Chains A and B, each alone.
Chain A
Amino acid sequence: MEWLIDNLMLLIGIALVALLVMALLAPLDSLGWWAGWRTRKADDHEGPQRDPDAIQPAEAERYVVYLSGIGKASGRWSFPEEVDFIARLKAELPDTVVVDDVFPYGTTFRGLEEERFFNVLWGFVNKSLLRRPTATVGWLVNIRNLFQVAVSVDHRYGPFYNLGAAESVIEALQAHGYRVGSGRPVFMIGYSGGAQVSLGAATYLAQLLAAPIKLISIGGVISADPGCVWVRHIHYLYGADDAMDGIGKIAFAGRWPMMKQSPWNKIVAEEKVTFTPMGPMAHNGPLGYFSSEPLPDGRPRVEETVSVVRQAILAGS
């Protein structure tokens, strides 16, 4: 203990330097991909296999892509509460394909187990979270992915990062039977930082798919991204106890009411954003949007979230 106190400043210093390094490296994955220094991993989505000679199955009525929050460690597995949310959503939406295996926080890989920088560390973190989703090391993932959201927001890096995210979404959609050019609407559900990545990717999704893109933001921390211009409509779900919602409103100048000409405030003025209060819901945890803890009316929180998302999707179809 004494040793710890003696070296506290040193440890804080090391932690700060580690944070700085992590932040400095954050843009390099997407920039390296654009520059041709890195290539994307081969597509291994769990969907109908794409065989050019096979008869293509009929397209679903609608396609929904779920991008998780900054706690997401891999596109190959999800936290139990999100698995429950997606299962309920699928049950509520017949003839709908729900894609939930996109990793929004990496351009050239689908999970931290493939991260190039400090691969051993991230492999360990991924395994720890797989064994126990509430493991403390999850904070490392939060911090890493927070920097990726910052890259998505940054006007210098965002165009490349968001293009990479759009590419990931298109790959996943195609693996699940979506035909590019069919014009089928795509509903992006973005939770927390996933909402920002969804909005950023919307710029390219709308153009590359030539289809309407609608965003359902669940506790989304989103900036006044240029994607606002390309998204057809935003359903903005926010809980009364969601502190992150307030942070998003303050941290991004483009969302301040005084910035009348920002893309966000323009679409708000055009009534392209539907604000939906979710009652006493927190950003995450036992009182979060995907929790099974009951609301004052006795229904599980996740049930209310699924109900609102379902209505938003059916209303926009």
Chain B
Amino acid sequence: MAEFFSLIGSALSLNRSALAAAATAPGALAAALWIAFLAGASLMLGQSVVLFANRVSRRRFAACLAVAGLVYLAGLVVWGVTIWLSARIFGFDIPVRTITFAVGVGQAPLLFGFLCLLPVLGTSLQRILQVYSLLVVVAALSGVLDVRVWQAALLTAAGWALRAGLDRALTRPLAGVRTWLWRASTGRPTPITRADALATLASDPRPWNG
């Protein structure tokens, strides 16, 4: 456990050499994946207004956080693969495992994603944490690949662009999966937005009672 927190500390302090050393330690990848999973769940907690808006039950709420963590983790693995592909294009031959470690550990700032719950400050805080997370990913890549920061930034950006393209291409084919995941975890039909939820009130006074 001490190593786990030490890894988080190295990530938060953007300590490239410590991250490079940690990458080769036994259980490093598992620790990074745990960080990514917990960060995804924490971020979901910070954004949980969407669950409340959809009247998700208490019991399902915890399940939704876990599912959000897993989905977040899956997204990061895809990002890791796209960075690996970009690295191949640029002539680097690096194991996917190493890149996945860097991307996973880079999510350490988002362990504080639950702070996005804070009224008024939450939305800005989320952006700050996401930028911070991106910086940690770049620092971690730079450390574990032993490349310059700008090279790591370039790889990160290229991988991100590739992932964004992939996301767009797969939006439609994966729509069914998303809906299934939403229904399975929340027990609610298609997600509604705050505006949807509240728009009904104008025409039907007090539908929320009872």
Contact = CB atoms under 8 A, between A and B. Distances in A.
A241 to B, nearest CB: 26
A208 interface: yes
Interface stretch (B68-76, B133-141, B163-171, B199-207): B199-207
B52 A32 contact: yes
B205 A180 contact: yes
Contact of A37 (B58, B119, B206): B58
A157 B201 contact: no
B201 A163 contact: yes
Question: What is the interface residue range for chain B against chain A?
Answer: 20 to 34
Nearest to A208: B205
Main secondary structure of the interface of B (DSSP, over half): helix
B210 to A, nearest CB: 10
A32 B74 CA distance: 30
Contacts, number: 64
Contact of A31 (B52, B114, B198): B52
B56 interface: yes
B119 A26 contact: yes
B197 to A, nearest CB: 8
A151 interface: yes
Given A34-B208, A150-B119, A204-B201, A159 B52 contact: no
A34 B53 contact: yes
Contacts of A156: 49, 122-123, 194
Most buried by A among B56, B117, B123, B197: B117
B25 interface: no
B147 interface: no
List of 8 A-B pairs having minimum Cβ-Cβ separation, nearest first: A150-B119, A31-B52, A154-B119, A207-B202, A35-B52, A151-B119, A150-B120, A35-B55
A221 B58 CA distance: 34
A150 B120 CA distance: 6
